[in-house]
Amino acid sequence: MQSRRVLGFLGVLAMVMSPGVQAQDLGELQRESLSNLFFRGNPLPPQPTDEELAITRRQVRRARRWERRLLKQLYPDDVELWVYATRDTDSDGVLDFRVSDYYGRFLEGDTDLDGDGLDNVLDAEPYKASDATQPMRLPASVDWAQQDKPGEMAAIQRELFEKHRILLVERSAEFTPQLAQSVLDVVTRVYGEIFEKGGILATLRIVATEESSLLDPEDEAGASDFAQVLPATQTLEIYRRGIDAVAVIQLGFLAHEIGHNIQFSLDYDRQRQDEILRRNYFAAPHFFELVRPYGWSIVETRADKRAEFELFRPQYIAQQPYEYLYLEEPVEDWEDWLAAIYEEVGEEKYLTDERITELHIVGDYSLSGPWEWYSDQIISYLYIAMLDSLVDSCSPSEWSALRQAFQHEAVEAEWPYFRFENGRGAEVHQHFRQVYPLVGEDAAYLARTYLLSIFPEACSQGQH
C-alpha cells in the first residue's frame, strides 16, 4: 500500500540514481540483496564458472534489444550479475531470481530453486539439493524460538506456520512484537472466516520484513511504501514505514495486502502460477467477474511486445493486454477528474467533496484499478466495523469525536489521501459482510486493541 496521491500501478520504473547511491556502490548493494533473499544471512548462490560466464555473454548478445538494454542498464558490464539474473539451477524453466527493474535488486524467483522439494525459505542449503522433505516444524535458520526472540513472537510465528503454513521471516529488517501480532489478528480476526474454512491460502506462504522496496532505503521513490504483495512467490513484503507504523495502521495495510492474496486465490491453480513465474502474466477471470457488479470492467488492448522477456524476469514489467474501466470510463480519466476537484476545492476539502463521497471513493489510489479499489474498500469496511462496535459503549458525542479523531489524527497522518468513512454505505460492503463477517467479539476486540489503545479516553465505557 502507498500513501502518496497517485493513480496507476507500478509500471516500468525509471532508473534514476538517488543522491545516496553512487554508481560504484550499486553492484555491491545488488550482491547484498542476495544475502537476504529467503531469510537473513542465507547462503549466497554459487559463483559462476568460466563456462557459465561465456554462455551468458553469448545469450545476452543474442537477446532481444529491449532485454539486452535493460540488463545492461541494471548491471553495467557485470557479467557475474548477468549470470545470477538468468540462472535456472534446477533447469525447470523457472529462473532462480526475479530482478527489480528499479536498481536491480534480486528477489526470490523459483521458490525451490534446487528442485529438492523443499522451499528455499525452509532450506538451510537452498542451492544444494538434498533428500529432505517439507518440515512440519521450523528449521533453526528461521525459527524465532531458537533465535532469542520474545516468547510471544515465537508463539505467533509457530501458530501461523503450523495452522496456516504462513511463515513470518526476517530478511533485511526485523519484525517487532506488535507487527507479528497485527499479522496474526488480520489472519485470525479480519479474515477468520477465510482461514478457518480452508486453513491454508495457497497464495500466501511468506510474510517478510524488508528495509525498503528498493536497494537504497534512503531513496524517496520507495519512502511511501508500507508493504507489497509479490504474487509470483506468494510473498507479502513489509517495509520500514510499515514496520514502524502505529498498530491500527498496520492492521489496515495488512488487511489491504492480504486482501490481494485472497483476490489472487480466486483464480489460483498450478498452471496459472507457472504462468506468473515464467511469463509474469496472471489471468483473473473470477476476480474480474466478482468486481464487475460494482462498476469495474476491462477492455482488451494490444499487448506490448516489450513486456515479453525470456532471458531474465523483471519484477514490474508485466503483460497486461487490457485496460481497466470504472463506470465505463478509463482510470486515466478518473485521475484527471480527481485532480480537477483537488485543484478546485483544495486539500482540506478534497475527499469530503460530495462528488467523491456520493460515489464512495475512499481515495485516489483506490481508482488505480479493481485490485486496489477492492483492498482499499476492505480497509474502509474494517475501520467502520471497529467504530460501529463501540456505538453502544460510547455516548453519541463521544463516538462522533472518536470517529473524527481517528480519521484526522491517525489515518491522515499516514494516508493523507484516504478517507475510510467515504466507504460507508458502499454496495461492496454488503459483500464483505458475507465473506469477511466482522461482528461480535472480533470487531470489539479489534476496536479495543487497535483503536482505544491510541484514544484511551474516547469512550467512557469502551474498554469494559
Per-residue pLDDT band at 22 (split at 50, 70, 90): low
> Would you list the domain boundaries of the chain?
23-126+137-279, 362-464
pLDDT at residue 14, as a whole number: 39
pLDDT at 23 > cutoff 80:
no
Nearest partner of 165 among 200, 130, 138, judged by Cα: 200
Question: What span, in angstroms and rounded, lies between the C-alpha atoms of 289 and 292?
Answer: 5
- The stretch 36-49 carries a mean pLDDT of 96
Calculate the alpha carbon distances from 239 to 55, 167, 183, 236, 316 in Å.
Answer: 37, 16, 14, 10, 17
pLDDT at residue 16, as a whole number: 44
pLDDT at residue 9, as a whole number: 29
Residue type, 73: Q
Name the residue with higher pLDDT: 172 or 302: 172
Task: Convert the pLDDT of each residue in 339-367 to its tens digit.
Answer: 999 999 999 999 999 999 999 999 999 99
Across 50-59, 181-190, 227-236, 267-276, least confident range: 267-276
pLDDT at residue 199, as a whole number: 87
- The stretch 274-293 carries a mean pLDDT of 85
pLDDT at residue 397, as a whole number: 93
Task: Convert the pLDDT of each residue in 449-459 to its tens digit.
Answer: 999 999 988 88
pLDDT at residue 463, as a whole number: 45
Task: Convert the pLDDT of each residue in 53-76 to its tens digit.
Answer: 999 999 999 999 999 999 999 999
pLDDT at 17 > cutoff 50:
no
Q: Which residue has the cell 459503549?
A: 393
Question: What span, in angstroms and rounded, lies between the C-alpha atoms of 153 and 158?
Answer: 9
pLDDT at residue 4, as a whole number: 40
Task: Convert the pLDDT of each residue in 215-226 to its tens digit.
Answer: 888 888 888 899
Task: Report whether 311 contacts 60 (CB < 8 A).
Answer: yes
Task: Report whether 37 contacts 107 (CB < 8 A).
Answer: yes
Q: What are the beta bridge partners of residue 107? A: 98
- The stretch 153-175 carries a mean pLDDT of 96
Task: Report whether 208 contacts 169 (CB < 8 A).
Answer: yes
Strands of the sheet containing 329-330, edge to edge, are 296-300, 322-326, 329-330
pLDDT at 26 > cutoff 50:
yes
Mean confidence (pLDDT) of the chain: 90
Task: Convert the pLDDT of each residue in 395-422 to its tens digit.
Answer: 999 999 999 999 999 999 999 999 999 9
- The stretch 236-265 carries a mean pLDDT of 97
Task: Convert the pLDDT of each residue in 381-390 to its tens digit.
Answer: 999 999 999 9
- The pair phi, psi for residue 412, each rounded to 5°, is -65, -25
> And the C-alpha cell for 130?
538434498
Question: What span, in angstroms and rounded, lies between the C-alpha atoms of 160 and 166?
Answer: 5
pLDDT at 24 > cutoff 70:
no
pLDDT at residue 180, as a whole number: 98
pLDDT at 192 > cutoff 50:
yes
pLDDT at residue 280, as a whole number: 73
